[in-house]
Amino acid sequence: MPFNIKDKVEIEEEGNMIKEFTVKTSRRNEFIDITDRVANIVRESGIEEGICTVFIPHTTAGVTINEKADPNVVRDIISALEKLVPEGAGYRHLEGNSDSHIKSTLVGASEKLVVSSNRLLLGTWQAIFFCEFDGPRTRKCIVQVIKA
Ligand code: ZN
């Protein structure tokens, strides 16, 4: 039986927190900055030193960390992925969204972040982006914070 994520969210134990939030996307390929939402969960956890994992429970989406300062960086990443993995390029998968699955695998389903002094240790220009590759949809993000 598949693991039901809903059974596991909103669990808070000492030194461990897991939460889920949703992201609404509006385009087929789109990156959405989720840094503030992840940072709020870290703050709420009260964990001073630890690890924060962001996990995307979808096969046609992902998560990545990259530059937020210039929005053209994200635009360039999306157009590079579109060139690298074009839509409808003779794939076998009958659902017709193989490019979305391939982009999801290239980007990855999780990111691990360092938590220090109850904050995410991100570089000045870095942001955490939810990556949509088969939108528009409503998606889930799972965040787990573990005490080191
Ligand atoms: Zn599919």
* CATH number of the domain encompassing residue 140: 2.60.120.460
- At residue 52, φ and ψ (nearest 5 deg) are -115, 125
Domain containing residue 25: 10-147
Distance (Å) from CA 99 to ligand 1 centroid: 9
CA 98 – ligand 1 centroid, Å: 6
Query: Which pLDDT tens digit goes with each residue over 22-71?
Result: 999 999 999 999 999 999 999 999 999 999 999 999 999 999 999 999 99
Q: How far apart are CA 49 and CA 28, in angstroms?
A: 37
Q: How far is the CA of 80 from the centre of ligand 1 (A)?
A: 21
Asked whether residue 1 is assigned to any structural domain, the reply reads no
pLDDT of residue 11: 60
96 CA from centroid of ligand 1 (Å)? 6
CA 7 to ligand 1 centroid distance, Å: 25
4 lies in a domain?
no
Look at the chain and report how many structural domains it folds into.
Answer: 1
Pick from 56, 44, 20, 50: which is nearest to 121 by CA? 50
Q: How far is 21 from 81, CA to CA, in rounded Å? A: 26
Q: How far apart are CA 65 and CA 135, in angstroms?
A: 20
pLDDT digits (tens, 9 = 90+) for 70-115: 999 999 999 999 999 999 999 999 999 999 999 999 999 999 999 9
Output the CA 113–ligand 1 centroid distance in Å.
Answer: 29
**Assigned domain for 109 exists:** yes
**Assigned domain for 99 exists:** yes
Tell me if the pTM is above 0.85.
Answer: yes
Instruction: Establish if 2 belongs to a structural domain.
Output: no
Residue at 133 is within a domain: yes
Domain assignment of residue 5, yes or no = no
Q: How far is the CA of 105 from the centre of ligand 1 (A)?
A: 12
CB 99 within 8 A of CB 106: no
Instruction: Look at residue 135 and tell me if it is in a domain.
Output: yes
Measured in Å, residue 95 CA sits from the centre of ligand 1 at 5
Segment 128-141 shows an average pLDDT of 98
